[in-house]
Amino acid sequence: MSEWQRVLKEESLASLERLAERFGADVIDVEALKPAFDNFQVRITPAALEQIREVGDPMWNQYVPTVQELDIRDGIIDSLEEDADSPVPNITHRYPDRVLFLVSPVCASYCRFCTRRRKVGDPEKIPLNQYDSAFAYIRSHPEIRDVIMSGGDPMMLSDRRLEYLFQNLRAIPHVEIIRIGSRITSHLPERITPEFCEMVKRYHPVYMNTHFNHPRELTPKVVHALGMLADAGIPLGCQTVLLRGVNDDPDVMKELMQRLLKARVRPYYIYMADQVAGGEHFRTTVQKGLEIVKALRGWTSGLAVPHFVIDSPGGGGKVPLLPEYVEEITDDEVVFRNYEGKRFVYKQPHIPVPAADCGVAAEAPDIVPIQVAQKAAKRTRRRKSASA
Ligand code: SF4
């Protein structure tokens, strides 16, 4: 057994009884929480446990079950309808040139807001003996150039099994990039070993999308593990989930994004929390997310500003959301406000632009009158408000 496997097995907290022992039976009502535990198992690694300072703090909320998980209102079990887009076991093929490949059913710590809680933690739901049909599917679809290994957490697999996956994927000529979606650096930094880093170098380009939700997760040990991955040539991104009671605060998000950059991780996405059954108490409003993006854009390096997206319920994919900066677009000018709210005008070019270049297809004349009508309506509104 390697050291990280030992830490995971011997030092993680994996039962409600142990939680009660550590934090007190008065704050962990074992009987009341049993149904939540049955619904989605509990495991908190030492690295995650260390980050909890008090009951109900952002780290506690991410890992300790609550009876609110049982209060299902709009929650959906498979909120992104991943199973509907699964042509063979363990593969979700939703976008044109990439697939999600579920390679591991388990995680080091279990996050209470997990979108995939219907599968994660149950080895039968992501069968490891069904890799072959996934390889065959990828092989027979030349349009797939990007494979995103996910789970569960792929980094819970041994180096040997990961290498087997890399070898099989690299044997498919049209697979250009491999991505690993993993929260291991936050949960179990011990898993990032020199051996793994040496092995992965043979299969580049390999990217890793990490997952951090709070600046407190970036402990010195975690930052060191991220540095090892970066030194091994793995470009690092971060996916963050906007969670009530964890990071629904512009200052917390700004600190998180800045500290990620310092740890050589490029913030990639902030997701609205999915409408997943059991995780509804983590959801906040879209307005809160837009407020956070507005507090980042312009106020800190552009590199620290991720895309803010909703993963469409029902399987429509990710849709970016942006605060309103543009007030008006006409053929003559664009009126917008900058990050401080100051108003500016950009003059449109006077050189005639071919229709195809400005996004209006020449052979679609019906589009033009609609645009012209919209602009005319805007001009009228503007004249009216000016004379009011
Ligand atoms: S690490 Fe990811 S897959 Fe695992 S429980 Fe947390 S959110 Fe779910």
Give the tens place of pLDDT for each residue, 51-94: 999 989 999 999 999 888 888 777 778 777 778 889 999 999 99
State residue 43's pLDDT score. 95
pLDDT in tens, 227-286: 999 999 999 999 999 999 999 999 999 999 999 999 999 999 999 998 888 888 999 999
Spatial distance between the Cα atoms of 335 and 385, rounded to a whole number of angstroms: 16
Q: 197 an active-site residue?
A: no
* pLDDT of 376 over the 80 cut: no
* pLDDT of 106 over the 90 cut: yes
Which amino acid residue places its CA nearest to atom 8 of ligand 1?
Answer: 114
Helices (H), the chain: 3-6, 16-23, 30-39, 46-50, 58-63, 131-139, 159-170, 184-187, 194-200, 220-231, 250-262, 286-296, 367-387
pLDDT in tens, 149-197: 998 999 999 999 999 999 999 999 999 999 999 999 999 999 999 999 9
Does residue 320 come out as left (phi exceeding 0), alpha (psi in the -120 to 50 range) or beta? beta
Task: Kindly give the distance from the C-alpha atom of residue 345 to the centroid of ligand 1, in angstroms, as a whole number.
Answer: 45
CB 217 within 8 A of CB 187: no
Spatial distance between the Cα atoms of 222 and 63, rounded to a whole number of angstroms: 18
CB 112 within 8 A of CB 70: no
Query: Is the C-beta atom of 243 inside 6 A of ligand 1?
Result: no
Task: Kindly give the distance from the C-alpha atom of residue 80 to the centroid of ligand 1, in angstroms, as a whole number.
Answer: 15
Spatial distance between the Cα atoms of 272 and 284, rounded to a whole number of angstroms: 8
Spatial distance between the Cα atoms of 269 and 332, rounded to a whole number of angstroms: 34
The CA-based diameter of the chain, rounded to the nearest angstrom, is 78
Query: Is the C-beta atom of 116 inside 6 A of ligand 1?
Result: yes
Query: Is the C-beta atom of 119 inside 6 A of ligand 1?
Result: no
Give the H/E segment covering residue 93.
Answer: strand 91-95
What is the pTM (predicted TM-score) of this model? 0.88
Task: Give the pLDDT mean for 365-383.
Answer: 47
Task: Give the pLDDT mean for 86-103.
Answer: 94
The mean of the pLDDT values for the chain is 89
Query: Is the C-beta atom of 183 inside 6 A of ligand 1?
Result: yes
Q: Is the dihedral of CA 91, 92, 94, 97 positive or negative?
A: negative
CB 1 within 8 A of CB 11: no
State residue 366's pLDDT score. 39
CB 192 within 8 A of CB 264: no
Spatial distance between the Cα atoms of 81 and 94, rounded to a whole number of angstroms: 10
State residue 71's pLDDT score. 81
The number of residues making up the chain comes to: 388
Does residue 121 come out as left (phi exceeding 0), alpha (psi in the -120 to 50 range) or beta? left
State residue 314's pLDDT score. 80
Name the nearest CA neighbour of 143 among 203, 94, 188.
94
Residue appearing with tokens 């079990």: 77
pLDDT in tens, 297-351: 999 999 999 999 998 888 888 999 999 999 999 999 999 999 999 999 999 998 7
CB 116 within 8 A of CB 147: no
- The model's confidence at residue 127, banded by pLDDT at 50, 70 and 90, is confident
* pLDDT of 379 over the 60 cut: no
* pLDDT of 369 over the 60 cut: no
Task: Kindly give the distance from the C-alpha atom of residue 184 to the centroid of ligand 1, in angstroms, as a whole number.
Answer: 9
